[in-house]
Structure 1
Amino acid sequence: MRFLFPYPPFTSPRRQGGFARALGALILGTLAACGTVPEDAAPPLPPDTAAVPAQLPAIEQPRSRWVPVPWDALPGWQADQVGLAWPALLRSCERPAPAWAEVCKEARALPMPDERSVRDWLQRRLQPYQVQNRDDGRPDGLITGYYEPLVDASREARGAYRVPLHQPPADLGQRQPYWSRAELDTVPAARAALRGREIAYVADPLDVLVLQIQGSGRLQVTERDGSKRLVRVAFAGHNQHPYRSVGRWLVDQGAFSLEQASWPAIKQWARANPTRVQQMLHVNPRVVFFREEPLLDPTIGPVGAQGVPLTPGRSIAVDRESVPYGTPVWIDTTEPLLQPGAPARPLQRLVVAQDTGSAIVGAVRADYFWGWTEGAGEYAGRMKQPLRMWALWPRSPS
């Protein structure tokens, strides 16, 4: 489980959840280009899937209502390369919910799936439902983004590397809530509880904050003998304090406007105000603790709340009371704007619900996993767009 961005870093964090295997074609910066299917690769809807089956009822979830719709109600359905989501779906089939047991068995048996066969299988075997708010039937919501940061670190405190990442203290479960961030920095008894729990040291305290908000990350560690090793730090617990946004605090301080708030803006403020960085960090009392994991295959990301790795560009975190883990979801939103005034580009694609987060709450709410390649943090930190989404659920056997 992790603790990741639900909103850009300047608002509020999100989770304790996870990540997955990157597809070779899914490289950040080319996500939109990879999403277009040649016209001859997208067959028309089969006649028996073009309309909603007669008398098909809505599905009631604890926090959402799913209304059945025809496939052509999904904006951009014929334009996405749905085959790129197939590995993510198969990942979820490693831990299928009861309703998916037979469907997953069929999916794993699909011989040599290509774009056409995957699309045809999805349309014949699954039924789309628009996800709506259970109280008022509204289909509109919010999508944000998260990623897996890469941070340089040292196994021992030396030079600029003085800011520790900690394992859970031995007495974490004995004090509820545990010491706050400010107390862990200043109270002798709190500092003593962390002594000897250091995993590694980083140079920038904001890198620690990023790792704690994301809940997982990669460390390029310089070992004591001078060798370098790539490892992962994964969520292992927190101090039970609420998250408070340092970005929101900076907005309230007049450092910048809410529209200007981003990680680059926060870092720029920190560079200009080094004596106030600790004051800013103490605004957020929550501290996340980590465990170190070997990273034998750098193409595999952290594990999400479903218990399977996430796929960049094809995995999302959801409110599990609105959308169960393992559900394929069609999202209709736009890419984050990296340049003010630039036209918004549609982001319409098939993803799979494989993660969750403490701030991912609501019927139409998702956190989009951008992966770990260069630029992922920029996209994730600026993603806060309107969202509509459709859940794809197994059809009843005919």
Structure 2
Amino acid sequence: MKRLIRRFFLVLVAAVLAACTTTPEKPPAPLPGAGAPSLEGPLVVPPLSALPETAPRPLSGKFARVAWTDVPGWSDDDLSGFWPAFLRDCRGLMRPVSGSLAMPARAAPRAWQPVCAAAAAQGASDPAAVRRFLQAWLQPWRLNGPDNRPASNLVTGYYEPMVSGSLQRGGPYQWPLYAVPNDLLTIDLGSVYPDLAGKRIRGKLVGRRVVPYDSRAQIEASDHKPPVLVWIDDPVDNFFLQVQGSGLVRLTSGPDAGQILRLAYADHNGRPYVSIGRWLADHGQMPLSQTSMQNIRAWARRNPARVQEMLDANPAVVFFRSDRLSDPSLGPNGAYGLPLTPKRSIAVDAHFVPLGTPVFLATTEPGSSLPMPRLVLAQDTGTAIQGAARADFYWGSGDEAGRQAGRMKQRGQMWLLWPKQAGEPSAR
């Protein structure tokens, strides 16, 4: 009887999840409790005795130990600028493990303690010294799929948009980006049933019932909208900033004109993501192959009366928070709780690659067959980033980064770089 009740509950939850979860193209926010480390001051590595042993988490991939000479393109990547990103990554690697199965798997702190201690002692390094350090301390492991064959998968790109906005509504600034509503409920199912670790539903209370949270159309029609953080002057910019999950807003009016705000993903309404490009194609407005950001923006200018109808086709809404813009050269925090580094951070499937792991990515330039070998850091996740060697490459912020990200649909392979003394890659 207990098994039947549990099975019924799981079926019920699956139905609720189908109605209440969203799969936006890029939700880069850290899960609650990720604990972003301070980036101020020199890197401090705790002694090994201060990092307790924790139970390992299984990884879905297989790993084959290889020599550095077997990593294609390893010597071709210019490692200029990689060292500061690696030291930042060590700050994340040295955080204690929370033990929460709701969080993505991450690299084991004890495995990395000797490496990060040596890195902190070494200080700044030129590219040749960085390569020598990595080769001395780390071992490359080729990532294989569950079938134990070398994994090859899709490599896409993402970026941080920069848009124009105002803190007050007026003139062209008519498109709101919202903060988290006070009545939004987020229910962590894994806290009750470990089998559902990482599964959350979002909704709100109506009387004594939990119901799905309002769709985009319902929010816009409501008299009780979420608090507005900023107003954007272009509906397509507004939409794509939500798809990317974070962005920079240059204030262009009022007493705060000239300032730049960073909006970071905070939560979402739990509704499924629907492509407005698909909506335009299905309604005969343009072929699906032509639904670029530029063409969608041009359509919106020609059809201002139908813009809200187009946007309402996507019921998903992303909510934001304002983040301090301490270093404009760094991106928003990824799922690992660290700022993303342009062209050095990727989103991965943490079932195969633990967050915090240095990864050598062998892929090609966007829209090209030219090799693009790149040493990167696994610092983010995404609902569309699933499977062995699947990656999303962070290009940075602004229009050029957006163009590169939009063109990137390449194939790639991965080699995880893991401490030599620690055996094959593992997760906590």
TM value normalised by structure 1: 0.79
CA contact (8 A) 1:16 1:358 kept: no
Cα distance in structure 1, aligned partners of 2:175 and 2:360: 41
CA contact (8 A) 1:223 1:229 kept: no
Q: Displacement of 1:261 after TM fit?
A: 4.1
Q: Displacement of 1:63 after TM fit?
A: 2.4
1:179-212 superposed Cα distances (whole Å, 9 cap, x missing partner): 01121122x3xx4142xx1111111111111111
Q: Displacement of 1:268 after TM fit?
A: 3.1
CA contact (8 A) 2:236 2:296 kept: no
Q: Aligned match of 2:76 in 50, 74, 79? A: 79
Q: Displacement of 1:249 after TM fit?
A: 3.4
* One-letter amino acid of the counterpart of residue 168, structure 1: V
Deviates more, 1:230-239 or 1:170-179: 170-179
Structure-2 change in CA distance of 1:271 and 1:64 (3 Å): farther
Q: Displacement of 1:107 after TM fit?
A: 1.4
Structure-2 change in CA distance of 1:274 and 1:227 (3 Å): closer
Cα distance in structure 1, aligned partners of 2:24 and 2:265: 17
Structure-2 change in CA distance of 1:227 and 1:274 (3 Å): closer
* One-letter amino acid of the counterpart of residue 133, structure 2: W
1:139 match: secondary structure = coil
TM value normalised by structure 2: 0.73
Cα distance in structure 1, aligned partners of 2:325 and 2:75: 37
Q: Give the gaps of 5 or more residues in structure 2.
A: 1-22, 31-35, 37-55, 94-107, 186-202, 205-210, 424-428
CA RMSD of aligned residues (A): 2.5
Q: Displacement of 1:64 after TM fit?
A: 1.5
Q: Displacement of 1:224 after TM fit?
A: 3.7
Cα distance in structure 2, aligned partners of 1:374 and 1:245: 21
Structure-2 change in CA distance of 1:309 and 1:155 (3 Å): same
Q: Aligned match of 1:306 in 321, 336, 339? A: 336
Query: 2:131 maps to what in 1?
Result: 119
Query: 2:184 maps to what in 1?
Result: 172
CA contact (8 A) 1:92 1:326 kept: yes
1:149-168 superposed Cα distances (whole Å, 9 cap, x missing partner): 11111111111111111111
1:67-91 superposed Cα distances (whole Å, 9 cap, x missing partner): 2122122221111112432222111
Q: Displacement of 1:378 after TM fit?
A: 0.9
Cα distance in structure 1, aligned partners of 2:390 and 2:312: 29
* One-letter amino acid of the counterpart of residue 408, structure 2: M
Query: 2:141 maps to what in 1?
Result: 129
Report % sequence identity.
46
* One-letter amino acid of the counterpart of residue 224, structure 2: A
Q: Displacement of 1:62 after TM fit?
A: 2.5
Q: Aligned match of 1:67 in 64, 67, 70? A: 64
Structure-2 change in CA distance of 1:133 and 1:275 (3 Å): farther
* One-letter amino acid of the counterpart of residue 157, structure 2: G
* One-letter amino acid of the counterpart of residue 246, structure 1: I
CA contact (8 A) 1:60 1:66 kept: no
Q: Displacement of 1:331 after TM fit?
A: 0.9
Q: Aligned match of 2:325 in 278, 286, 295? A: 295
CA contact (8 A) 1:67 1:131 kept: yes
* One-letter amino acid of the counterpart of residue 344, structure 1: S
Matched, 1:155 2:180: no
Q: Aligned match of 1:274 in 270, 285, 304? A: 304
Length, aligned pairs only: 339
Structure-2 change in CA distance of 1:17 and 1:62 (3 Å): same
Cα distance in structure 2, aligned partners of 1:138 and 1:61: 19
CA contact (8 A) 2:167 2:231 kept: yes
Structure-2 change in CA distance of 1:139 and 1:184 (3 Å): same
Q: Displacement of 1:259 after TM fit?
A: 4.5
Query: 1:192 maps to what in 2?
Result: 224
CA contact (8 A) 1:316 1:366 kept: yes
Q: Map residues 222-233 of structure 1 onto 2, 5 A cutoff.
A: 222=252, 224-225=254-255, 227-233=257-263
Query: 2:314 maps to what in 1?
Result: 284
Cα distance in structure 2, aligned partners of 1:397 and 1:178: 46
CA contact (8 A) 1:335 1:383 kept: yes
Query: 1:44 maps to what in 2?
Result: none
Cα distance in structure 2, aligned partners of 1:268 and 1:136: 48
Q: Displacement of 1:247 after TM fit?
A: 2.3
* One-letter amino acid of the counterpart of residue 278, structure 1: Q
Cα distance in structure 2, aligned partners of 1:147 and 1:299: 13
Q: Aligned match of 2:270 in 240, 263, 269? A: 240
